[in-house]
Every structure is written in C-alpha cells, then in structure tokens.
Amino acid sequence: MNFYIIIPAHNEAESIGLTLYSLVNQTLKPKKIVVVNDNSSDNTQSVVDGYAQKHDCISLVNCKSSDQHLPGSKIINAFYKGYETLDDNYDVICKFDADLIFPNNYLEQLALHFNKNDTLGMVSGFCYIEKNGDWILENLTRKDHIRGALKAYRKDCFLEIGKLKPSMGWDTVDELLAKYYGWEILTDASLHVKHLKPTGISYNKASKYLQGEAMYKMRYGFFITLISALKLAYKKGKLSLFKDYMAGFFRAKKEKIEFLVSEDEGKFIRNLRWKGIMNKFQK
C-alpha cells in the first residue's frame, strides 16, 4: 500500500528529527512524507531540510500562520498546505504529529489491517508518554477512538467524509462521519507510539472554550454535551474545564455558529453517542 504522510510542525526542532528517523526506518517505507513548517521560530526547517537531502520521500512546505498553538484550525490548515502538494496516487493518507516515535513495523501493521478488511476506514496504535522513566499509556486513550496525533485513513474513507474539518473536534467528527458512511475504525493495542509531548501541553488560554464549541458544531445537543464535557474534564483532572466547555457550547449556540455536520449526520451522531452512554451505564 502507498502511504502518504503529512506532518504539521510548529517549533518542533527538538522532536521532528526523531519522528522522521522512525518513519524512514519503517519495514514498509512511506512513499511520501510532507512536513509543513508552520511559522516556526526555531530550527525546525533546518532539521527537516537535513532529512530531505538524504531521503527523496521527504519534502518541506513552509507556511505562515498565527504563532498561537490553537487546536483544530491551525493544524488542519497546515495539513492542507501539505495535501495540496501531493498527487492522488495514495492508498492511505496519514496526519501525524511532529513529536511521535513510531515502532519500525507501524506502517506495515497498518497495511495488514487495511488489506484484511475492505470496510476498515481508519486504524492506529496507541500513544505512550514518559513518566518517571517509564512509558505509560496516555490517559486520554480510548480503544474506540483514534487520537488526532496519529490518524491514518483509507483513501475512499478520507474522501467520503469530506476530508478533515478545520475546527476543534476534527479528530472526533471524522470518526463519527466514517461510521455514518459505514466504515469501521480499529485501534491496535500492540502498536506503542512514543508521544514526546502530552496532548494540549502548548495550547493557550484562548482555546479553552473551543471544546464546547466543537460539541455544539457536531450537533451533540445539551445533554450529550453536558455528559461529554464532564467526562473530558474529569479525564484531564481539572473539573474547572467543565465550566469552560459548557460556556463554549452556549456561546456557540447564541452566536449560531455553523455546524460541521448535516441534520441527518447530527441525528446519527446523537443516536450513536446515546448508545455509547447507555452501554457504559449498563456495565
């Protein structure tokens, strides 16, 4: 299978070299790797240039956006800067973060999963973070969710869901839409990916309302947003975030911000969410 990989990078000089090293040494080589250097003020560009000179599969795209690390739109807009440089001769397209170290059989294992199941739209491993010298499973991990850091899409699935939404919540709505269109999602617990910087560590204060806004834009409705916001705040170990998430939801509702999904897709998403909530209560 032909793997095309796009890596948005903002001030990732300390980690991008490790990410690229792990990718060029895969047992199944990626056909193309595009690093989008998004307004970095460190040596990200020179590190990537060094790898690009040695490996024909690697290319660099420089772009300028805000230097604020806002989740969602900044990352996906950078992703599209890289996507625009690619042809369509790929079987799988990946959006990877610039602070990951992949096991050397990662892409080969993804290809095995895709080849085994024609209805598999997305697949990934799990992120591990370092704590006290040990690599432990990152606490935001769920078996039924692929983290935004390491997305891999079958081409047909990627196109059918309308590619990626430049918004907070893009890495949830993509899975919900994939299920709406009949695609399956798989996480492989045997694939341990080292995540060098925990999720959200560099997000600024302006991003705190965006999670609730995303829940509104995915047409969760009040009660599902309430439950989801409480659960996410608890997982992050900061219950004060619950108030921020709900404030973001109500602000988006008041301003009638444009939805990310259609009414039919929203109805499917709410039903899916309620089923998940009820299943957990029954357990």
Residue pLDDT, tens place only, 207-241 = 778 889 999 999 999 999 999 999 888 888 888 89
pLDDT digits (tens, 9 = 90+) for 142-174: 888 999 999 999 999 999 999 999 998 899 999
**Amino acid 199: pLDDT:** 61
Task: Domain ranges for the chain, please list them.
Answer: 3-195, 208-282
Which residues, 6 or more positions from 31, have their beta carbon under 8 angstroms from its beta carbon?
A: 2, 3, 4, 57, 89, 90
Mean pLDDT (whole number) for 249-261: 94
Identify which has the larger pLDDT, 65 or 115. 115
Least confident of 44-48, 56-60, 74-78, 174-178: 74-78
Whether residue 52 is predicted with pLDDT greater than 90 in this model: the reply is yes
Least confident of 110-114, 208-212, 253-257: 208-212
200 pLDDT tier (thresholds 50, 70, 90): low
Mean pLDDT (whole number) for 103-129: 97
- Which one of 3.40.50.300, 3.90.550.10, 3.40.190.10, 3.90.230.10 gives the CATH number of domain 3-195? 3.90.550.10
Mean pLDDT (whole number) for 274-279: 87
pLDDT-above-90 percentage for the chain: 79
Mean pLDDT, the chain, integer: 92
**Amino acid 71: pLDDT:** 62
**Amino acid 197: pLDDT:** 84
Q: How far apart are CA 11 and CA 141, in angstroms?
A: 25
**Amino acid 239: pLDDT:** 86
Whole-prediction pTM: 0.89
282 pLDDT tier (thresholds 50, 70, 90): low
Q: How far apart are CA 56 and CA 61, in angstroms?
A: 14
**Amino acid 31: pLDDT:** 98
- DSSP secondary structure string for all residues of 154-186: EHHHHHHTTS--SSTTHHHHHHHHHHHTT-EEE
70 pLDDT tier (thresholds 50, 70, 90): low
Least confident of 91-105, 136-150, 257-271: 136-150
7 pLDDT tier (thresholds 50, 70, 90): very high
pLDDT digits (tens, 9 = 90+) for 33-51: 999 999 899 999 999 999 9
pLDDT-above-70 percentage for the chain: 94
Q: How far apart are CA 121 and CA 183, in angstroms?
A: 5
